[in-house]
Structure 1
């Protein structure tokens, strides 16, 4: 059972790392080529929604940051 949980955790970590890398790549491509995929606009909308929710949004953002392990 512990092996299954460790394997699942490893997959989730790899998937999260891949998605973060894709977002960073999308932002870089957006900066270089005038945002053809709308990634920068999507990130901007996400942060504006967090800002609109006030303290609750900032608290959730902080909790997500604390849950992600530092490398």
Structure 2
């Protein structure tokens, strides 16, 4: 399954907009500098009370559809 590592930094307040349904997609930066669009619903699996912060592996199918989002580390410096 193809994947890309992305850096996500969202506050708890920003995540509430995703839960409320007012935001359907989230932009993140890949570790190699690309801009990546992912479904906001993917954050529901990884959000904490502080929001979403760190490096995540975004996996998708061969058609480019979201499959999973897994935390793999802290945000790089």
Same fold (TM over 0.5): no
- Whichever of the two has the greater Rg, that structure is 1
TM range (shorter): under 0.3
* Larger helix percent: 1
The structure with higher relative contact order (CA 8 Å, sep 6+) is 2
